[in-house]
Amino acid sequence: MRIATWNVNSITARLPRLLAWLESSGTDVLCIQETKCSAEQFPADELRALGYESAVNADGRWNGVALLSRVGLEEVVSGLPGGPEYDGAQEPRAISATCGGVRVWSVYVPNGREVGHDHYAYKLRWLEALRDAVVADATGERPFAVLGDFNIAPTDDDVFDPAVFEGATHVTPAERAALAALRDAGLSDVVPRPLKYDHPYTYWDYRQLCFPKNRGMRIDLAYANASFTGAVKDAYVDREERKGKGASDHAPVVVDLDV
């Protein structure tokens, strides 16, 4: 089974590339973030024509998550159980389902904006709620993974220059402690380092030629329980998909399982 996660940065803008990538990559389950569309606008018909069922949590703003599966889509939970609100509403940042016997979450962790901002405090509360939900859902022998855009670089090796990010979000001790709390809940990062290249970044800003200069960050992650991790045969960042006209600013992260 091939499971992937991809922040598409608008599924409407990325639809031709998404459809082509699904056909060429052989992906069975895809976790999508930043759909930037409403549930009604989601291209379920086009995806169904390729054999994919869709589960969507989106409200038409800049958030939105989805799961695509061609191996079944059961026990769907839309939203983060116990998750906090921001500006009086729970944002559409999580969705989970069982796909071919594997429990999969697609998450889009809040950005945090800047240290000290209300959104930064919200990000930390959201991550705490995620850990609690994971503890409740990842127990037992069923393979489980939470994948998505975590908006956190786990270590200084996961950014092109730690000095550039000093004092900024994505690299603070509190955010990294939240990832450590997920590991303490029985999950581990299933994407090995190093990969086929020295810096397996997953995100490059559109500005200042960041991608050609490889000024990136590894913030798209896959955290899994022991049953899932033990079945992993390969994992990689599809850096080629970040190239060319109309690309997202994130690359897909792909995990192959023997289940």
151 is in an annotated binding site: yes
CA atoms within 13 A on the CB side of 175: 27
Cα(216)–Cα(96) distance, integer angstroms? 28
250 is in an annotated binding site: yes
Instruction: Write out the catalytic residue numbers.
Output: 108, 149, 250
Angle formed by the axes of helices 118-137 and 173-184, nearest 10°: 10
Residue 190 CB-density burial (10 A; 0-12 exposed, 13-18 middle, 19+ buried):
buried
Cα(51)–Cα(69) distance, integer angstroms? 8
CA atoms within 13 A on the CB side of 136: 10
Kindly list the distances between the CA atom of residue 245 and the CA atoms of 27, 36, 206, 210, in Å, as whole numbers in the listed order.
22, 19, 11, 15
Kindly list the distances between the CA atom of residue 149 and the CA atoms of 6, 7, 54, in Å, as whole numbers in the listed order.
8, 7, 19
Q: Phi and psi (nearest 5°) for 65?
A: -135, 160
Q: Which helix (H) or strand (E) holds 222?
A: strand 220-224
34 is in an annotated binding site: yes
Order of all β-strands in the sheet with 144-149:
74-78, 94-99, 102-108, 144-149, 220-224, 188-189
238 is in an annotated binding site: no
* Binding residue ranges: 7, 34, 149, 151, 249-250
* Binding residue ranges for Mg(2+): 7, 34, 149, 151, 249-250
